[in-house]
Structure 1
């Protein structure tokens, strides 16, 4: 059986105020082409289908068009809900879908798989929606109606995987688990989902995912291999400049009669490249950059000693898709974190107070020699004016 593992579509998300719907539609169209080209049997979407619990109508339109296109390839589609999705809304939407498209959002149904057959027999897909401990533990009660003490992501995921293993006993054959969580061992440099906190309480141990032949994870926006069987596919589109150097794509997974046979990375196109330009503002505005990056999303980090006038307007005149501007003065005293009030405590004269103000608003950069002369002239003029009163 051939499986395509994708996740974190985040339909409806914006990129620094710009809609991503058209770009995502292009990428998902390429993904559909890959499904057809590689004769994929099952497409897994491991959570965060939408970016919001209340997506706009245009987001539903893109999802419906993509699901219809995937269905026409002959592949079965299995989706789970992520922390950005409304499980209730996504689950309701699933009732309107045709055969071969499954949306798994019910924590009470984790042990009940979606079963797809190939020449070697059944493959059971167990979907684990994003689990919020305070919400789901009330659904998992024992015979006496007592809820288990589940307070962390690690605990609820371990409980959920226990249900998966119970389902594996009841449904013999090969198995695939689909989940949306932050697993221990993830490299934080590849782009963490913005709501995830790094820390022991929110990390799911890798050992929790023992037993299934393959575990398709979502939540992290860059591809990662935690073990041969446990992987993140990442998001199909870049959603931040921190992800700009990371490939976009999905995992092509083959199962044979004995379980996992092979995995292959399939790259997806990047509709508009992301680039970070660092230097003095005039350097960033150079003809060379304007020609090379006219069609790129640009993050401009300008290093001039002082804040420049209307930098975004000037940048967009040369770089139409400049999305972010940051001022990071070169050589600024980044280690001096004193507040303005603290800087003022040692200032006695007006000149010293002005110097303290300039250092505060310029990240440690005080007045230049010429500015010092101007400050002195203004203060002297004030003294002369007061003397005439």
Structure 2
């Protein structure tokens, strides 16, 4: 059978105020075109369909249409909830999804049978998929344990709990003549982050060892980390990565989907298929004079300005580079925290004095910034 594995769509993403709705339409159209061309038996979307738990009607429309279009290629379609998704809201769409022939699993339910999905390809090959949506630590570990255990013990408890859940869902994976699959939205120890994930849900407290997956699985389709990569483990384990770089930290990633060909008796053959429709994210740096001389690269820009901060600097950069979404003073010019600067004494001092101390500590010598602050203070006072 052939599987198309994708994840972390993050539909509804706004980057520094810039909507990416049109890019997402093109990206998902690219994923659908790959599905038409490759004719997979099964499409797995491993979580984070949306960028927010309260998606706009436009984002909801785009995701439901994409799922429907993938189903119309003839493939079975299974999608699970990620940490950015609203699990109960996805589960509320299950009647629509089932009518459309799509399998949705938004949140973790008590009945293990809810998360074990059986199917048969058009050629008669049987498959079973254990589908585990994102499970936060506070639900995986009882509240009383969170207070009684050390951080290391709590982390281990979470990993143990996930291991027990996956073990329960994959109990029947020793049956011959069937392809055994797992999909989950989580962090595996040793995997590399993509650069734009939400830190609160990718820290090591949420990481589990690859050993939680059974050696009898033919393929494990993961979501959560945005960089496409293989993870060493007892079976083939892979993150498909995001098909669109969601933040500037991901500008070096290669957006793609993963294609897998496997049978019950042969090892998985895995390859990446690039998705190139999104606008590239690029970083440029230099003084104003240097920025004025460069030919701006195609894409959305992050600009590191090698100038001392002053009022109006952002506007000058924006005039030179209209596609700059993020403009910062070059980090090399910013003093590191605690690098010998004294901490301002707050008691008995005015906001103007405290702000002046802050500017001095950061190397800001521009009087225009102080004047703007004074105007704000006057507005607040009156």
Contact kept in structure 2, 1:128 and 1:179, CA below 8 Å: yes
Aligned twin of 1:302: 305
SS of the residue corresponding to residue 161 of structure 2 reads: helix
Which whole-Å deviations, capped at 9, do the CAs of 1:73-103 have from their partners, x for residues lacking one? 1111100111111111101112112343100
Match of 1:317 in 2: 319
Between 63-72 and 181-190, the greater mean CA deviation after superposition:
181-190
C-alpha spacing 1:123/1:276, structure 2 compared with 1 (3 Å)? same
- Structure 1 residues 279-294: aligned runs within 5 Å: 279-284=286-291, 286-289=292-295, 292-293=296-297
> What RMSD in Å do the two structures reach over aligned CA positions?
3.0
Residue correspondence of structure 1 range 172-211 to structure 2 within 5 A:
173-188=178-193, 190-199=195-204, 201-210=205-214, 211=216
Going from structure 1 to structure 2, the CA distance change for 1:322 and 1:267 (only over 3 Å counts) comes to same
How far is 1:342 from its partner?
6.0
Does residue 220 of structure 1 match 2:225?
A: yes
Matched, 1:49 2:46: no
Counterparts in 2 of 1:63 and 1:361: CA distance versus 1, 3 Å: same
Work out whether residues 259 and 271 of structure 2, in 8 Å CA contact, stay in contact via their aligned partners in 1.
yes
Would you say 1:237 and 2:244 are equivalent positions? Answer: yes
1:246 matched to 2:253? The reply is yes
State the secondary structure of the residue aligned to 1:59: helix
Using the alignment, how far apart are the partners of 2:22 and 2:156 within structure 1? 40
Q: Which has the larger radius of gyration?
A: 1
Tell me, yes or no, if the aligned pair for 2:132 and 2:184 is still in contact at 8 Å.
yes
1:104-115 paired onto structure 2 within 5 Å: 104-105=105-106, 106-111=108-113, 112-115=116-119
2-structure distance, mates of 1:22, 1:357: 41
Paired residues of 2:196 and 2:248 also in contact (CA < 8 A): no
Q: Name the counterpart of 1:103.
A: 104
Q: Tell me the residue number matched to 2:269.
A: 262
Greater CA deviation, 188-197 or 70-79?
188-197
How far 1:315 sits from its partner (Å)? 2.4
Query: Aligned-pair distance for 1:52?
Result: 1.7
1:292-345 deviation line (CA, Å, top 9, x unaligned) = 33x4211110122x213323322222322211011136566537534544699x
Deviates more, 1:35-44 or 1:189-198: 189-198
In the alignment, structure 1 segments of 5+ residues that lack a partner are: 139-148, 345-354, 372-389
Cα–Cα, structure 1 residues 189 and 100, in superposed 2: closer, same or farther, change >3 Å? closer
Change (3 A) 1:182 1:173: same
Does residue 88 of structure 1 match 2:88? Answer: yes
The 3-state SS of whatever aligns with 1:246 is: coil
Matching residue of 1:61: 61
Q: Is the 8 A contact 1:71 1:77 kept in 2?
A: yes
Specify the alignment match of 2:17 in structure 1. Answer: 17
Deviation, structure 1 residue 161: 1.0
Would the aligned equivalents of 1:82 and 1:180 in 2 still touch at CA under 8 Å?
A: yes
Which residue does the alignment assign to 1:374? Answer: none
Unaligned residue ranges in structure 2 (runs of 5+): 143-153, 347-355, 368-382
In 1, the alpha carbon distance for the partners of 2:155 and 2:250 equals 33
Shift of 1:108: 2.9
Report the Cα distance in structure 2 between the residues aligned to 1:53 and 1:357, rounded to whole angstroms: 37
1:156 counterpart residue number? 161
The runs of at least 4 consecutive aligned structure 1 residues that moved more than 4 Å come to 149-152, 169-172, 329-333, 355-359
